[in-house]
Amino acid sequence: MRKINKILVANRGEIALRVMRTAKEMGIRTVAIYSEADRNALHVRFADEAVCVGGPKSSESYLRGDVILDVCRQLQVDAIHPGYGFLSENATFAAKVKEAGFIFIGPSPEAIELMGSKLAAKAAVARYHIPMVPGTEHAITDVEEAKQIAQQVGFPILIKASAGGGGKGMRVVEDVASFEEQMRLAVSEAISAFGDGAVFIEKYIGSPRHIEIQVLGDTQGNIVHLFERECSIQRRHQKVIEEAPSSVLTPVLREEMGRCAVNVAKACDYVGAGTVEFLLDEQKNFYFLEMNTRLQVEHPVTEQITGLDMVKEQILIAEGLPLSFTQEDLQIQGHALELRVYAEDPANNFLPDIGKLETYKRPQGLGVRVDDGFEQGMDIPIYYDPMIAKLVTFGKDRQEAIDKMLRAIDEYQITGIETTLPFGKFVLQHEAFVSGDFDTKFIERYFNPEVLSLEAGETAQEIAAVLAATLLEEKKAPKAASAPAPTSTSSGSSWFRNRTK
Ligand code: ADP
Ligand code: ADP
Ligand code: MG
């Protein structure tokens, strides 16, 4: 047992603030680190102490583990909270923190390392009979052998980087003819993005839902799950809208997936907050994807339905305290939704749209929570992930959460940059979303930029004009879908860890 009196938050933006808020409530002092681009950032002002650790690029600041450890020594902190992204899943850094005598608020370096490799993770959980997507269990190196396996598994298949993350490092292969070329590209992408060329094959599940289970483990070996989050609304294999609970899980399936997730955590002696990700197919078979060994971006929806403060639980666990509840004590209350408000242009393939927040007014009111790190007049820096805020709503049931989200989106005022707010409004009003019948193909299937301009409330004539133009476009280029291609892997900038190159 070791009381934590001072925490350095090795992160920026909304998550740095979110962690510091809880620390403050617990009477813990906070240290912010920041880059030259973040001098005026809110997390810097919120912290008790703040230290500039270097230049704007992540590699010059937020990723400099040794500099961060120096700050810890100088300011005599007890613990480091890594947030998500940056150093949060860097096993070497976690080990150095420990060696230097500080507490790393997260799992052991061994667990991070094991789960950081999708292949090693699959091998580790195999003895618990966790269902897995059919494919290879080892890295593929021999093209001919790999082709054979792909044929056995059946096309389409997915070539995945074992060290991949953040939706990057995946290639869909439709047929054997394109296999060799795609494998070559996948390997070279994996090397350049993750410094590790190991790739493997997974069957490409056609219309899956992404359902993940939040777990919490203490240092005494108790592990519980905090139910699921549905994260199927994705662009570029990355989440935009999340909710808890999922509208498709029955109590029986929830229990089964929960038990599997706890077993995955057991397989690596997991300590702290972690997430076990699954795909659920149309027949409601679920398959283990990977485990994320950190606080997840979308943790607020779990907080809303369980009444638990995830960061507080992380800190108590890091102090060595046992969980103060058992699985039986936990219950789902109400329904929560999260919309990631990104500085991205949904009308332009969700490409980052960086600039100044000319107007920035948050929505308020009962059941609305905004986790952000910006104020009106601030610039969104080009160096980091373009997420501005997480808009979270909570209601007694799903419909109430949806109604609140729609109201909150209308109330949110952002000008100066394009954001995912209008996209969120489109999704939340879409019949497929409202009925709960949707999967990770939502954007591909239903979204095209024109629906956003219709949304703005034009006259009937204008709507007719847009529709006519769309039809004409479709005739010209039948397959020119506006949704991002599922094969996109390293498209766009690589934020966080792999931003260093
Ligand atoms: P979550 O898994 O928490 O839902 P994301 O997949 O969006 O959220 O990842 C959280 C953040 O960390 C994202 O901004 C993503 O870009 C970044 N990230 C996660 N894993 C990696 C990785 N292996 N390489 C680069 N960036 C990553
Ligand atoms: P990352 O580490 O980048 O988060 P994941 O393995 O968690 O990678 O997959 C991210 C997303 O990619 C999933 O949520 C899903 O939408 C899609 N995906 C991953 N594996 C498959 C698969 N075998 N079949 C279909 N879609 C998949
Ligand atoms: Mg994932």
CATH of the domain at 197: 3.30.1490.20
Between 468 and 431, residue with greater pLDDT: 431
Q: What residues make up the domain containing 469?
A: 451-500
Backbone phi and psi for residue 151, each to the nearest 5 degrees, phi listed first: -70, -40
> Encoding tokens for residue 316?
């108590």
| Residue 401: predicted pLDDT | 98
Q: Could you tell me what percent of the chain has a pLDDT over 90?
A: 87
Cα 498 to ligand 1 centre (Å): 10
Residues 270 and 398 in one domain: yes
Closest to 149 in 3D by CA, of 125, 183, 126, 186:
183
For ligand 2, residues with CB inside 6 Å are 133, 158, 164-167, 202-205, 208, 210, 234, 237, 277, 279, 289-290, 440
289-311 confidence digits (pLDDT tens):
999 999 999 999 999 999 999 99
Q: Is the pLDDT of residue 490 over 70?
A: no
Residues 304 and 162 in one domain: no
CA distances from 170 to 184, 192, 199, 363, 488 (A): 12, 13, 9, 36, 8
User: What pLDDT band is residue 469 in, cutting at 50, 70 and 90?
Assistant: low
DSSP state of 379: B
CA angle at 237 for the pair 236 and 239, rounded to the nearest 5°: 100
Q: Is the pLDDT of residue 480 over 80?
A: no
Q: For 248-262, what is the mean pLDDT?
A: 98
- From 156, 179, 203, give the residue that closes a domain: 203
In a domain, 116, yes or no: no
Backbone phi and psi for residue 142, each to the nearest 5 degrees, phi listed first: -85, 120
CB of 385 closer than 6 angstroms to any ligand 1 atom: yes
> Encoding tokens for residue 474?
């479709």
Cα 85 to ligand 1 centre (Å): 5
CA angle at 217 for the pair 225 and 23, rounded to the nearest 5°: 100
- Residue 59's CB is within 10 A of a number of other CB atoms, namely 16
Residues 184 and 250 in one domain: no
Give me the catalytic one of 12, 209, 236, 294. 294
- From 150, 179, 203, give the residue that closes a domain: 203
Q: Is the pLDDT of residue 497 over 50?
A: no
| Residue 467: predicted pLDDT | 59
User: What atom of ligand 1 comes closest to residue 499's alpha carbon?
Assistant: 25
| pTM across the whole model | 0.91
- Do 161 and 190 form a contact (C-beta atoms < 8 A)? yes
Question: Can you tell me the distance from the alpha carbon of 436 to that of 477, in angstroms, rounded to the nearest whole number?
Answer: 31
Residues 142 and 177 in one domain: yes
Residues 257 and 329 in one domain: yes
Residues 13 and 37 in one domain: yes
Pocket mutation for ligand 1, best pick of 113, 289, 496 (most atoms within 8 Å of C-beta): 496
In a domain, 92, yes or no: yes
In a domain, 35, yes or no: yes
How many domains does the structure of the chain reveal? Answer: 4
CB of 212 closer than 6 angstroms to any ligand 1 atom: no
Residues 167 and 262 in one domain: no
Q: For 345-365, what is the mean pLDDT?
A: 96
CATH code for the domain in which residue 343 is found: 3.30.470.20
Place of tokens 């005026």: 40
Nearest CA to ligand 1 atom 6: 166
| Residue 473: predicted pLDDT | 63
Residues 239 and 371 in one domain: yes
Q: Is the pLDDT of residue 77 over 80?
A: yes
In a domain, 112, yes or no: no
- Residue 50's CB is within 10 A of a number of other CB atoms, namely 19
User: What pLDDT band is residue 498 in, cutting at 50, 70 and 90?
Assistant: very low
Instruction: Characterize 293-302 residue by residue with b for buried, 16 or more Cβ atoms within 10 angstroms of its Cβ, and e for exposed.
Output: bbbbbbbbbb
> Of the ligands numbered here, which is closest to the C-alpha atom of 229?
1
- Do 72 and 99 form a contact (C-beta atoms < 8 A)? no
- Do 211 and 257 form a contact (C-beta atoms < 8 A)? yes
In a domain, 155, yes or no: yes
CATH code for the domain in which residue 53 is found: 3.40.50.20
Residues 183 and 228 in one domain: no
| Residue 200: predicted pLDDT | 97
Mean pLDDT over each residue of the chain, to the nearest integer: 92
- From 148, 177, 203, give the residue that closes a domain: 203
Cα 167 to ligand 2 centre (Å): 7
Residues 493 and 438 in one domain: no
- Do 215 and 282 form a contact (C-beta atoms < 8 A)? no
In a domain, 1, yes or no: no
Pocket mutation for ligand 1, best pick of 237, 238, 289 (most atoms within 8 Å of C-beta): 238
In a domain, 76, yes or no: yes
Nearest CA to ligand 1 atom 2: 296
Q: Is the pLDDT of residue 456 over 60?
A: no
| Residue 463: predicted pLDDT | 53
Q: Is the pLDDT of residue 472 over 70?
A: no
Asked if 398 is an active-site residue, the reply is: no
154-188 confidence digits (pLDDT tens):
999 999 999 999 888 899 999 999 999 999 999 99
CB of 498 closer than 6 angstroms to any ligand 1 atom: yes
Nearest CA to ligand 2 atom 21: 204
3-state secondary structure of 331: coil
Question: Can you tell me the distance from the alpha carbon of 264 to that of 259, in angstroms, rounded to the nearest whole number?
Answer: 9
Nearest CA to ligand 1 atom 9: 166
Q: Is the pLDDT of residue 462 over 80?
A: no
Residues 309 and 444 in one domain: yes
Residues 34 and 94 in one domain: yes
> Of the ligands numbered here, which is closest to the C-alpha atom of 172?
2
Cα 165 to ligand 3 centre (Å): 6
Cα 213 to ligand 1 centre (Å): 17
| Residue 167: predicted pLDDT | 85
